């Protein structure tokens, strides 16, 4: 039995937190991709204005199964 998994890279953002930005990656990907099995957060970035983080960005790899046999 073999499983084929595909990985896509996604960058998402949030006004709340880096965790929310990572969740947004899964939420957005799941709109067009089925069988998501995992997420790997590659990095975080933020946008700063007036000394405050105003945008939280997550660069993620999302894995999903394309074939199970």
- Pairwise CA distance, residues 29 & 19, whole Å: 16
Residues of the chain with pLDDT under 70: none
The yes or no reply on domain 3-68 and CATH 3.30.1660.10 is yes
**What gap in Å lies between CA 68 and CA 59, rounded to an integer?**
27
pLDDT tens digits along 54-65: 999 999 999 999
Q: What is the pLDDT of residue 46?
A: 96
CB 15 within 8 A of CB 55: yes
Give the start-to-end residue ranges of the domains of the chain.
3-68
């Amino acid at each position: 039995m073999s499983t084929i998994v595909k990985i896509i890279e996604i960058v998402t953002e949030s006004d709340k937190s880096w965790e929310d930005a990572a969740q947004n990656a899964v939420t957005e990907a799941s709109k067009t991709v089925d069988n998501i099995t995992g997420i790997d957060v590659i990095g975080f970035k933020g946008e700063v204005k007036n000394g405050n983080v105003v945008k939280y960005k997550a660069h993620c790899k999302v894995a999903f199964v394309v074939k199970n046999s």
